[in-house]
Amino acid sequence: MAAKVGVGLLGLGTVGGGVASILQSPGERHPLVNELELIRVAVRDLNRPRPVVLDESLLTTDPSAVIQDPAVDVVVEVIGGLEPARSLILQAIAAGKSVVTANKAVIARHGQEIAEAAAAAGVYVLIEAAVGGGIPIIEPLKQSLGGNRINRVSGIINGTTNYILTRMAEEGAAYDAVLKDAQDLGYAEADPAADVDGLDAADKIAILATLAFGGSVERAAVPTEGISGLQGVDVDYANQLGYGVKLLAVAERMAASGDPLPLSLRVQPTLVPKDHPLAGVNGVNNAILVEGDPIGRVMFYGPGAGAGPTASAVVADILNIAGIRQASDGPGKVDPLLAAGSWRPCALVESGDIRQRHYVRFKTKDAPGVIGNVGGCFGQRKVSIQSIVQFNASDAGAEIVVITHEVSQRQMDEALQAIQALPEVLGLAAHLGCLQGDK
Ligand SMILES: NC(=O)c1ccc[n+]([C@@H]2O[C@H](COP(=O)([O-])OP(=O)(O)OC[C@H]3O[C@@H](n4cnc5c(N)ncnc54)[C@H](OP(=O)(O)O)[C@@H]3O)[C@@H](O)[C@H]2O)c1
């Protein structure tokens, strides 16, 4: 019988607690779960009450003691944040231990450094839980879809913002009120910035782009806009025009090949046509749509966060490592898809070159000819319009909503500048992205 595989946990919070409880009840799961043994667990505060009951002797406040314990084969980093998480991952690799982490912040910024260290040390770093919580998306991108040329990955990859947007759409509720509710229910952090400002989604799309296109992308260069500026009126108008509003993260290739490969990445509140597969993804759920050649479209859908779903992904990674260890009787073979050799240069195109459809709302005077003048400014800059609608005309003014066909950001910016200079236009009140429908 093969030896047990020793697991060392760094962190016993939401995700760590979920992992520990799976390891404590292996019955009716994959037979290899029986072969995993929780050896040591690092926490910050030994006296904090825990949802899982663990032998106190397993707990320590010294993460290095977990990493260096000779019985630990796999180190699971579920502390979160950049430091000490990054240093602890590197320390584990240097000690010859494979690592499983749910930490998108570290992987999005230091993934290449970590992958190169892992390749040099001959160990694995697996990250299934870092994107999409319980949804298997990392391994499919690395393996199951490996025969495809991936053209685009787009998704709803932040559950907190999707919960807020779903309630805004269903109840006509204001952003601030729903955010407060989400915080009370534990769906949003006390400091919600990472979620509502789109930063968490930007970390995740940077990771997905790296896997889909085989190269590193500069996380800091990802154009990122969150939902905190989104107004209920735009959710309402979008609904009337046949769209939902989602915080969408998109990564797409801009050329068939290239060195560096040109990519476009963005995170932005975006109108999604109601017949689009991503439109029905509501509440805290996540979904990732992968478009590739020859597969076409494939969508991954499910719970994007939470103790159970995220622990499911972490344990799958531990099992992968355990399976490889047992098959090869020890480490030594490195996953070629996370090895340094597969990191080719990718370059993000300038934001002016990003092409997409746009939704814009102007506040205007209720003057004759205003729609024609707005339309004329778009036409002169070769921005073709899919629809232009006037709402709420009254003595106080009117609102004009325009949805364009696909244009470059540069063309759009030029047209918007000209429109805002029109005397009857009082201002640009909203500017969102808009996805193409299926029909
Ligand atoms: N929560 C989710 O649904 C979810 C989903 C996907 C990915 N993730 C990722 O998973 C990771 C963990 O998230 P979480 O929600 O489980 O966080 P959490 O509930 O805040 O738990 C963090 C754990 O790390 C421990 N810790 C913090 N600093 C430490 C240190 N210096 N030394 C030792 N232990 C330390 C804490 O100890 P104490 O308990 O003693 O304070 C706690 O047990 C993050 O990277 C997060 O982005 C989370």
- Please determine, looking at this structure, whether the domain spanning 354-434 carries the CATH number 3.30.70.260: yes
| Distance from residue 35's CA to the centre of ligand 1 (Å) | 25
Query: Which residue has its alpha carbon closest to ligand 1 atom 12?
Result: 78
Ligand 1 pocket test, pick from 19, 21, 43, 101 with the greatest ligand atom count within 8 Å of Cβ, gives: 43
Task: Give me the pLDDT at residue 394, please.
Answer: 76
Q: What angle do CA 146, 150, 156 make, to 5 degrees?
A: 110
Query: Which residue has its alpha carbon closest to ligand 1 atom 15?
Result: 14
Ligand 1 binding pocket includes 102 (Cβ within 6 Å) = yes
| Distance from residue 40's CA to the centre of ligand 1 (Å) | 16
3-state secondary structure of 327: helix
Query: CATH number of 146-302: 1.10.3210.10, 3.30.360.10, 2.20.25.650, 3.30.2020.30?
Result: 3.30.360.10
Distance CA 98, CA 2 (A): 18
Task: Give me the pLDDT at residue 340, please.
Answer: 45
CATH T-level fold of 5-134+307-344: Rossmann fold (3.40.50)
Task: Give me the pLDDT at residue 339, please.
Answer: 44
Tokens 């719970």, residue located: 303
Nearest to 210 by CA among 247, 174, 261: 261
- Nearby residues of 277 by Cβ (< 8 Å), 6 or more positions away: 287, 289, 297, 299
- Nearby residues of 109 by Cβ (< 8 Å), 6 or more positions away: 82, 203, 219
Task: Tell me phi and psi for residue 121, to 5 degrees.
Answer: -90, -10
Task: Tell me phi and psi for residue 408, to 5 degrees.
Answer: -80, 155
Tokens 């990191």, residue located: 343
The answer to whether the CB of 248 falls within 8 A of the CB of 270 is yes
Q: What's the gap between Cα 223 and its chain centre?
A: 14
The answer to whether the CB of 354 falls within 8 A of the CB of 408 is yes
| Distance from residue 109's CA to the centre of ligand 1 (Å) | 18
Length of the chain: 439
Nearest to 155 by CA among 264, 48, 286: 286
Please give the single-letter amino acid code of residue 171.
E
Ligand 1 binding pocket includes 155 (Cβ within 6 Å) = no
Distance CA 241, CA 408 (A): 23
pTM of the model: 0.94
| Distance from residue 307's CA to the centre of ligand 1 (Å) | 11
**Rounded to whole angstroms, what are the CA distances from 366 to 8, 236, 394, 421?**
67, 21, 7, 16
Atom of ligand 1 lying closest to residue 130 CA: 7
| Distance from residue 180's CA to the centre of ligand 1 (Å) | 23
Ligand 1 binding pocket includes 15 (Cβ within 6 Å) = yes
Ligand 1 binding pocket includes 134 (Cβ within 6 Å) = no
Which are the catalytic amino acids?
204
Query: Which residue has its alpha carbon closest to ligand 1 atom 29?
Result: 44
> For each of the chain's 439 residues, which pLDDT tens digit applies?
567 999 999 999 999 999 999 999 999 999 999 999 999 999 999 999 998 999 999 999 999 999 999 999 999 999 999 999 999 999 999 999 999 999 999 999 999 899 989 989 989 999 999 999 999 999 999 889 989 999 999 999 999 999 999 999 999 889 999 999 988 888 888 889 999 999 999 999 999 999 999 888 899 999 999 999 999 999 999 999 999 999 999 999 999 999 899 999 999 999 999 999 999 999 999 999 999 999 999 999 999 999 999 999 999 999 999 987 777 655 555 554 444 446 688 999 998 999 999 999 999 998 889 999 999 999 999 999 999 999 887 778 899 999 999 999 999 999 999 999 999 999 999 999 999 876 5
Ligand 1 binding pocket includes 14 (Cβ within 6 Å) = yes
The answer to whether the CB of 208 falls within 8 A of the CB of 128 is no
